[in-house]
Amino acid sequence: MYYIVESDKSFDQASVDLEAAVKRHNFGVLHVHDLGTTLRSKGVAFTEQCKVFEVCNPGQAAKVLVTDMRLNMALPCRISVYTENNKTRIGMIKPAQILSSLSKDAALAKIANEVEEATIRMIDEAK
């Protein structure tokens, strides 16, 4: 269900490298949620770092939405860079598994598999 890799890079460098990999694969970064900073700004004692990148390939997203508009709630894909026990990790919940639980449409499964393969390559490149 998850795809997570450990990186020897710093949290900041892995974040920069992920964003570059996303762009190389013709996806865009729609937004970055800096959860660690947000939690600390709310007074929560949170020592780890965590950025969630919302990434999207517009062509693939449009195909999904034309097929089943309800799936807008599963978009965009999210890739996280985070620290845990002094290790930097990059990971995601696999899109194909999420989509297969929401739809049995074969065309959507094909799109989800293509997106999953691309996002795995992005994570591996950023690692």
The overall average pLDDT reported for the chain is: 96
> What residue has token string 């770092």?
49
pLDDT tens digits for range 107-125:
999 999 999 999 999 999 9
pLDDT tens digits for range 21-61:
999 999 999 999 999 999 999 999 999 999 999 999 999 99
Which residue range forms the structural domain that includes residue 82? 2-126
Q: Residue 90 sits in a domain of what CATH number?
A: 3.30.310.70
Instruction: Please name the residues in contact with 36: beta carbons below 8 A apart, sequence gap of 6 or more.
Output: 46, 48, 49, 50, 51
Q: How many domains does the chain have?
A: 1
Q: Is the peptide bond between 95 and the residue preceding it cis, with omega within 30 degrees of 0?
A: no
What confidence score (pLDDT) does residue 85 get?
A: 94
Average pLDDT over residues 76-90: 97
CA pair distance 115, 25, nearest whole angstrom: 10
CB 95 within 8 A of CB 110: no
